[in-house]
Amino acid sequence: MSSPASRADGRKPDQLRTISFEANIAPHATGSVLVSFGLTRVICAATIESNVPTWMKQQKVPGGWLTAEYSMLPYSTLDRKPREISRGKADGRNIEIQRLIGRSLRAVLDLKKLGQNTLWLDCDVLQADGGTRTASITGAYLAARLAIQKLLDAKKISENPLTDSVAAVSVGLFRGEALLDLNYLEDKDAEVDANLVMTGRGQFVEVQSSGEETTFSGDQLQSLLALSQKGLKEIASLQSAFLAKQLL
């Protein structure tokens, strides 16, 4: 078993990385946030389009829609990551993550209250050090909340369609020990890796867990769930404090 001091950045096993949010990082977006989980930095931008997808019009589905896109900028990793367009095909990992972001946000959004609008969420990774998908979900919620406030202030919608906050965090077993919020070095060598999405009220939206190099027991899974819940409650508090300053 490793000791708390064995984490390369000196954190305790149940300690989050330093998390920060910077608003209005992309002025042309309706709402935007630069989210940092330690050295992982992601720009999350929300843009509201006064239209809905064709399939909604054809099927006469009421309300609006939310969709997400995710990408890692070429210089976000140690070795340059080619853009999808230069490879001539979509990146399967990117598609998986952007679908996760969309599902996570739609879980706390009343689409009927959004009106005939599409909320686009673009998450672009500036620097990757583990947990880019969890940082993206956490920041995307904040960008969406800022964008929706502009709709409310302009009286384009009558009530807030967001029913709760949502955030995400990673946990894993590294050298036999349960750790919260894995950085890249921990993530790449973890025996078990998990990403969890939870609402501010403590309801899980998604649990992704896999044994990378080994199996894991029910007791180990429960310990990872408990660790994630602790971290996610702390992240929800940080989100609330950020929005309290932005939505005065």
Alpha-carbon distance values, 170 to 68, 125, 134, 137, 222 (Å): 20, 17, 7, 12, 14
Instruction: Provide the CATH number for the domain around residue 89.
Output: 3.30.230.70
Domain count across the chain: 1
The two tokens of residue 205 are 């939206």
Distance CA 70, CA 23 (A): 19
The domain in which residue 168 lies consists of 4-246
pLDDT truncated to tens, each residue of the chain (248 aa)?
Answer: 344 446 888 999 999 999 999 999 999 999 999 999 999 999 999 999 999 999 999 999 999 999 999 998 888 888 888 877 666 667 788 899 999 999 999 999 999 999 999 999 999 999 999 999 999 999 999 999 999 999 999 999 999 999 999 999 999 999 889 999 999 999 999 999 999 999 999 999 999 888 877 888 889 999 999 999 999 999 999 999 999 999 98
Cα(205)–Cα(110) distance, integer angstroms: 15
Chain centroid to Cα 152, Å, comes to: 24
